Chains A and B, each alone.
Chain A
C-alpha cells in the first residue's frame, strides 16, 4: 500500500541529519515509530505518551478525535513529537514518501527546539517516558487496590484535572524554600534605613507572622493541598502529585507553541529545499508545506505566525531596511546567530512581544474581534493607531495567559481552616459556570470551606464553597 520502505526512510533520514548538522541544529537522538491512524488517535488522546495513566477523559478525548476524523472535520497531524531523550516521534504509515521526508525534517526542528529552549531545560527529558510509565503503574495500582478502586481514584483525578494548570508557570524561576521565604519576610519587615533616625521617632518594629501558611501567595494549588491537607490519604496526595507533574510537563509546550511550530516549519522548509529532491517529490512538498503554514482566516495558525516571525527576524538582521537601521541601528550579529539565540532564550509571549512588529502585523492582517450579540465583530485592526491594542490582546490569548492566575493567600482563614484564594484579576472576568464547578472540585480536595476573591463586572466579589454549595457575596 505505501510506496516506501524503511530503507527509504533511513536513506532520507541520514541526508536530513547531515543537513541539520550543517545548519547548526543540535538534536537528541531520534526514534521514529510507524503507526496506523488508530494508534495515532490513541497517542493524541494520551498526550502522545506511550504509557499513561487511565482516566475516562482520555476516552472522551479519543471519541471526539475519532468522530472529527471519521467525519473529515479534521485530519490527523502528520507527526507528533515527544519531548524526551531520545526524542520519540510517530509517523503515519499511510502517508506518502514525500510526507514522511517532510515529517522527518520537521521533527528534527522540534527535537532541536526541545533540546535547546530554556523552557525545557529542567524537564529531564531522559526520564520522561519512564516517569510517565511509573505514574501510570501507580495509578493502576490504586485502581486495582481492593480498598481504593476506580470510583475513589476517579473522584480525586476529576478534581485534580480541573486544577492542574493552576500552578507556577515560570518554570525557569526557582521556587523559594520555606526558610528562604521566612528570611525574605523578615527582610521585608525591617524598617527602611533612615538617615535621620536620631531625630525621628523610632519606627515600631512589627514582626512578620512567620506562622502564616502560606508565607507568600502560592500558585501551585495541587501541591499545596497535597502538602497541607490533613484529610487526604497518602495515595490521594500521590494522585495530586502525579497530575501536577504531568501538568508541569506540558506547560513548556503550551508556552512555546508558536515558536516551536514556527521553528520546525522554518527548518523543514530549509532542509527540504537543500536536499535536491526529485521534481515530483519537490512539488508535492510545496503543496504540503503551503497547506501547513497557510493562514487560517479568522483564527491563528501557530505554524503560520511562527514561520513568518522567524523569517522576519532573520531578514531584519541580514537585510534591514533603511527605516529599521534608523530606528534600531545596524544589527550586531547575523540573522542566523540571532534566531539561534532567540530559540534558546524566549517563549511565545516574549517572542511575540519582542519580534512581532507593526509592519508584520499589518502584513498578516491581524485583527482583534469581540463578541457582539450573536456575532464576532472586528473591533480593531493593525493600523497605525490600534496595532498595540491588537498585540496586547494577542499576547493575552497565548499559552498560559489563557489560564487565570489563582493564588492561595491563607490556608487558615478565620482560624477554621478555610482556604482563602484570590484570582489575580487582569481585566478579564472569570466565567461563572465553570468557576462554580471548579470551586466545588477545590472544596472536595481541601475538605473545608473555600473562598475565592475575584472581580466580576468591575465589582470585587467573593465566592465561597462549602458542603451546601457555592455562594457569592460582594466585597
Chain B
C-alpha cells in the first residue's frame, strides 16, 4: 500500500481558496431579487409602517428555496430517548419548518426561507429599480446653507490657530538641506531659524452646501366612512411617500392634516388612530394645506409633496370648491396626488371623485384608485412616474 500523504496547511492557499465567493454573491443577488419580487406583500405588512430605519424585519423569501418531492410534515419519526420514555409524552415543539424534536437538520426538506433585513436596506431595494424622477436638476429648489467650512489646501499667510506645524517644520528642513552646499555650516555653527516663507497655514473655505428641503403633506379624510382598512391602506401609501421623499432630500418634514368637514393639523399618532366621525368636505383639507404652505413652507424654498387619501364620499356641493383648491395646490406642489381608497369588500360604493378630478389637467397631479393592498406598490410607481413626466415638461 502506498504511503499516506499529508498535505500541510498552506496559508497562501487558504487565502486564495475562497471558492464559494461567487456562489455566495449569486445567492445574495437572488435574495435581493426575491425581496424585490415580494415587495408588494412586504410593504403591505402593517408592522413596518412608521418604524425607524434601523428596525430589523423578517422578510419571507420565496423563489430561492430549493424544492424536492418530500413527504408531508405529519409523518411519524423515530428518536432515541433517555430510557424512560412513555407513550403520550411530549418530546418537542413543532416549529414552522416541520422539524423533528432534538437536533435540527436530521430530517429532509428543512430549509430557511426568511431573512433579516433592516428597513433601510429594504427601502434601498424598493427604490433601486424605480425609475426615479430626475429631480435634482429640474425641480430641486435649493437654499444655500454656508454654515460649515472645510479645509482646502495651504497658504503662506493666516491666523496662528491655523498654523500647520508639521508642514512648517518640513519646509524649514527642506530649505536647510538645500542651502547646505552653498554655505557649509560649522557643526556647532549658528542655529538655522525659521523663515517667514516656511510658515504654512491651513486654508479653510466656506463649504457651500445646497440644502434641499421637502415637506410631505399627508391629507386624510377621517370622516365616518373611513374605516380601519381604508386608513391602513392610506397609511401604507403615506409611508412609501415619506420614505421616498426622504431618499431625495436632506431635510424632510411631514405634516398631517386630518379633515372631516373641518381640517386640523394633527400629530402622526392622532392622524392614524383618531376615531372617525362626521361628514366630508375635502376642500377644507386642501385649504388647510394651502394655509400651512403659505405660512411655513414657501414654495420657493421647499419642495412640496402632497397626497390626499379619501374614500371619495364628498358632500356634492363641496365638489366645486375642492376642485378649485386642488388646482391651487397643484400650482404650489411638486407633486400632488389623490388616492381614492375603495376596498373591494367594504360595501361603500359611494360617489367617486375620480371623474371630478379628471378635470384637473395639471401635469403634476395624479389621481389613482386603491382597492386592496396589492395595489399600493403599483399605484405608487405610477404616481412617481407622473412626477417624472412633470419634471421633464418643466
Chain A residues with a Cβ under 8 A of chain B: 6, 9-10, 13-14, 17, 27, 29-36, 38-39, 42, 45-46, 54-60, 62-64, 86, 93, 150, 158, 161-163, 165-166, 295-301, 304-305, 364-371, 373-381, 390, 393-394, 396-397, 402-404, 406, 423, 428-435, 437-438, 441
Contact of B4 among A13, A36, A46, A380 (CB under 8 A): A13
Q: Is the CB of B70 within 8 A of A404?
A: yes
Q: Is the CB of A298 within 8 A of B14?
A: no
Q: List 28 A-B contacts (CB under 8 A).
A: A13-B6, A14-B4, A31-B6, A31-B7, A35-B9, A42-B18, A59-B26, A93-B9, A162-B68, A296-B79, A296-B103, A298-B102, A304-B80, A365-B85, A367-B79, A368-B76, A368-B77, A369-B101, A370-B75, A373-B94, A376-B77, A378-B86, A393-B78, A397-B78, A428-B72, A434-B68, A437-B67, A438-B68
Q: Is the CB of B17 within 8 A of A397?
A: no
Q: Do A428 and B14 contact each other (CB < 8 Å), given the known contacts A59-B22, A297-B82, A369-B91?
A: no
Q: Do A60 and B27 contact each other (CB < 8 Å), given the known contacts A32-B7, A365-B81?
A: yes
User: Does B5 have its Cβ within 8 Å of any Cβ on chain A?
Assistant: yes
Contact of A370 among B2, B24, B68, B76 (CB under 8 A): B76
Give every chain A residue within 8 A of B70 (Cβ-Cβ): 402-404, 430-431, 434
Q: Is the CB of B18 within 8 A of A367?
A: no
Name B247-284 residues within 8 Å CB distance of A: none
Interchain nearest-CB distance for B121 vs A (Å): 16
Give every chain A residue within 8 A of B81 (Cβ-Cβ): 297-298, 365-367, 378, 381
Q: Is the CB of A374 within 8 A of B93?
A: yes
Instruction: Report the bound CA distance from A305 to B155 in whole Å.
Output: 81
Name B37-82 residues within 8 Å CB distance of A: 64-82
Q: Is the interface of A mostly helix, strand, loop or mixed?
A: mixed
Instruction: Report the bound CA distance from A27 to B94 in whole Å.
Output: 43
Q: Please name the 7 residue pairs, one residue from A and one from B, whose CB atoms are nearest each other, closest first.
A: A298-B102, A299-B102, A59-B23, A365-B81, A59-B24, A29-B2, A59-B27
User: Does B129 have its Cβ within 8 Å of any Cβ on chain A?
Assistant: no
Interchain nearest-CB distance for B5 vs A (Å): 4
Contact of A397 among B5, B23, B77, B82 (CB under 8 A): B77
The stretch among B107-115, B190-198, B296-304, B350-358 that forms the contact with chain A is B107-115
Instruction: Report the bound CA distance from A195 to B107 in whole Å.
Output: 55
Most chain A beta-carbon contacts within 10 A, residue among B1, B22, B85 = B85
Q: Is the CB of B20 within 8 A of A59?
A: yes
Give every chain B residue within 8 A of A423 (Cβ-Cβ): 69
With contacts A35-B9, A56-B64, A298-B101 known, what are 15 further pairs, Cβ within 8 A?
A10-B4, A29-B5, A42-B20, A58-B23, A62-B23, A86-B2, A299-B80, A299-B106, A367-B85, A368-B77, A369-B78, A377-B90, A406-B69, A430-B71, A431-B109
Q: Is the interface of B mostly helix, strand, loop or mixed?
A: loop
Q: Do A58 and B93 contact each other (CB < 8 Å), given the known contacts A165-B68, A299-B106, A366-B81?
A: no
Residue of A nearest to B90 (CB): A375
Q: Is the CB of A60 within 8 A of B79?
A: no
Give every chain B residue within 8 A of A394 (Cβ-Cβ): 78
Interchain nearest-CB distance for B87 vs A (Å): 5
Interchain nearest-CB distance for B20 vs A (Å): 4
Residues of B in contact (CB 8 Å), total 62
Q: Do A56 and B17 contact each other (CB < 8 Å), given the known contacts A297-B82, A365-B81?
A: no
Residue of A nearest to B92 (CB): A376
Interchain nearest-CB distance for B69 vs A (Å): 5
Interchain nearest-CB distance for A266 vs B (Å): 18
Interchain nearest-CB distance for A65 vs B (Å): 10
Instruction: Report the bound CA distance from A274 to B64 in whole Å.
Output: 50
Contact of A34 among B6, B88, B91 (CB under 8 A): B6
User: Does B25 have its Cβ within 8 Å of any Cβ on chain A?
Assistant: yes
Q: Is the CB of A380 within 8 A of B17?
A: no
Instruction: Report the bound CA distance from A77 to B90 in whole Å.
Output: 30
User: Does B84 have its Cβ within 8 Å of any Cβ on chain A?
Assistant: yes
Instruction: Report the bound CA distance from A161 to B93 in whole Å.
Output: 31
Contact of A366 among B4, B24, B25, B79 (CB under 8 A): B79
Residue of A nearest to B80 (CB): A295
Interchain nearest-CB distance for A111 vs B (Å): 10
Q: Is the CB of B8 within 8 A of A434?
A: no
Contact of B6 among A10, A165, A370, A438 (CB under 8 A): A10
Q: Is the CB of B7 within 8 A of A299?
A: no
Give every chain A residue within 8 A of B25 (Cβ-Cβ): 59
Contact of A402 among B22, B71, B79, B83 (CB under 8 A): B71
Instruction: Report the bound CA distance from A161 to B107 in whole Å.
Output: 18
Instruction: Report the bound CA distance from A57 to B30 in whole Å.
Output: 10
Instruction: Report the bound CA distance from A165 to B108 in whole Å.
Output: 12
Q: Is the CB of B78 within 8 A of A434?
A: no
Give every chain B residue within 8 A of A38 (Cβ-Cβ): 14, 18
Q: Do A17 and B69 contact each other (CB < 8 Å), given the known contacts A297-B102, A381-B87?
A: no
Contact of B108 among A55, A86, A93, A402 (CB under 8 A): A402
User: Does B19 have its Cβ within 8 Å of any Cβ on chain A?
Assistant: yes
Contact with A along B195-210 (1 / 0, CB 8 A): 0000000000000000
Instruction: Report the bound CA distance from A296 to B5 in whole Å.
Output: 35
Residue of A nearest to B96 (CB): A374
